[in-house]
Structures are given as C-alpha cells and as structure tokens.
Amino acid sequence: MSQALPLRVSPLVEAHFALDGGAMFGIIPQPLWERTNPGDEQNRIDLACRCLLVEYADKRVLIDVGIGTKWSPKEVGIYNIRAQDDALKRALALHSLSPDDIDEVVLTHLHFDHAGGVSYLDESGHTRASFPGARHWLQKRNWAWAQSPSTRDGGSYRPADFAFFDHADAPKLELVDGLAEILPGIEVMPCHGHTFGMQIAKITTAQHTYVFLADLIPTTSHLRDPYVMGYDLQPLVTVEEKREILYHAARHDWILVFGHDPVRAFARVEMDKRGQPTAIPHA
C-alpha cells in the first residue's frame, strides 16, 4: 500500500467497569494479584475499556469501541459500569472529531467489552450504528464463532451488539482471514487463546510501532506467563502467543497498548535478569 503511514496514535477510554479478580487472573492466588489490582467488596477489580484513535492525514480509525450503553440498570450494577463516554463523543471532541468522522473501525473481537459500543438503541428502541460512516473490520473466524459460541463463553457475545450488520443499511463489514495489512501501517494478527479469531493490531508510524493487545495481555499485571484470564478458551495457547509478542516487543522496542489497564495505556517491555517481562512506562 502506497498511502502515507498514520500520523498520530491516541488512547481513548470509553468507560470503566469491573470484573471478578479471580476470573481476571485465573490460577494466580488472590494475595498475589491484589497487590497490583485490589478488589472491591465484591472482589471485582477496576478495568478500563480503552480504545485507540489512529489518525492519518485524511482518515481516522478506531480500534475497539468499548462496552456501549445497551445495558439494564441491573447489569450496570453487576459490572459497575461508570464514567462512560457514549460512542467516545467527549474523547473524540478533544481531537476535533465526532463519531461521524470515523472512517474505519477495527474490532479485535466481538466480546461485549470491546464491541458493545459499535451500536446503540435509538429513542424508538431500534439498533443503530454508532459509527455509521465507517467500514468495520473483524476476523472471519471470530464472526463465525460469535454466531454460535460455546456455552462457556456465550455470555461474552451479545447478539444485540452486532446482529445489525446483517441489515441492508448497516455499515460495511470486512471479514479478514488471518494475518493482513488492512490499512497502510495497520496490520492485524489473529490470536486464538482468549477466543477464536481475536485479532491484535500493530500500528506503524514514522516514529514508533504500537501493538494494541486487546485481551491477549489485558493489563500490565498480565505480562508473565501464568497470568492468564480464567475466561480464556485455550490458556496454553495464550501463553505461547504472549511469549511471541513479548519477544518481538522487547527486541524491536514496540510500544504496547493495554486495553483494560485502569491506569496505564502505554508501556514498553524489557526482560529482567530472570528473563521475566517488565513494563517500562511510556508517556
């Protein structure tokens, strides 16, 4: 592709929410994970729904869109959804943009905390696209899996979020089959440990390479091998995928983007004397 590379990469937070700390850290004992991610009275830890704005000279791209607003009051309480920026309107306004200005949306996968914000209910209760002028990108395998997920992960896929893509007036959905450069400087890489057909995104600018990790490494506390979420369908696959990404990140000085870390959006990674990955803050 000959078009110029992205000019800017900016993290945006669509909402904060909470999930059970034990589920988020799998086999790791609570006395270890609560050192960095203390739980509330219901044992839930604070998480961000972080998205990424990628700006070209003539194009604007969003990677992931957050948890969305199609939640009952009871569900809002269960997940402690708060500080929400519906369709990222406030965050985009800081960049002199609105949802209508987004040209492309890259969905890492269709779990509700990454793709719930792709649509909303209008005053008549009809589902509408949050970014109506955007082309949407997703792995073909994740689209197929989301139509009929397993009983183990079915609760993470909410058809009310994405079924509207089948409507005649829906934005265009591009289904990607495997590793691909979908836009100049934006490469998607499929990962299958968390769920089948998730994709992480590598964004190359003139200055840096960024990698949006989605749920492969959701927070800086999940860098080490055994720190794998209980939600993952194939935890051993997740470990191998993490090792490969962290090896290249340390070797090539990539900037990692954490989709759920409640505080830190960016970090580089270095290996310590024991060969364990360590997050190095990046402004």
- Domain membership of residue 97 (yes or no) is yes
Q: In this structure, what CATH number is given to the domain that contains residue 276?
A: 3.60.15.10
pLDDT for 273 equals 87
- Domain membership of residue 1 (yes or no) is no
pTM of this prediction exceeds 0.75: yes
Rounded to an integer, what distance in angstroms lies between the CA atom of residue 82 and that of residue 48?
10
Count of structural domains within the chain: 1
Confidence of residue 275 (pLDDT cuts 50, 70, 90): confident
Q: How far is CA 90 from CA 2, 15, 84, 191, in A?
A: 33, 12, 10, 31
Structure tokens given for 47? 């998480």
- Domain membership of residue 3 (yes or no) is no
Mean pLDDT of the chain: 96
- Domain membership of residue 234 (yes or no) is yes
- Domain membership of residue 190 (yes or no) is yes
For residue 2, pLDDT over 80 is answered with: no
pLDDT tens, position by position, 74-110: 999 999 999 999 999 999 999 999 999 999 999 999 9
pLDDT tens, position by position, 255-265: 999 999 999 99
Q: Which residue has the tokens 């090792």?
A: 243
- Domain membership of residue 239 (yes or no) is yes
HEC string for 43-66:
CEEEEEEEEEEEECCCCEEEECCE
pLDDT for 283 equals 66
Residue 230 lies in domain: 8-281
- Domain membership of residue 236 (yes or no) is yes
Q: Which residue has the tokens 């979420």?
A: 229
pLDDT tens, position by position, 13-51: 999 999 999 999 999 999 999 999 999 999 999 999 999
Please give the full DSSP string across 248-267, using - where no structure is assigned: HHHHHTPEEE-SS-SS--EE
- Domain membership of residue 2 (yes or no) is no
Angle at 252 between CA 279 and CA 210, to 5 degrees: 65
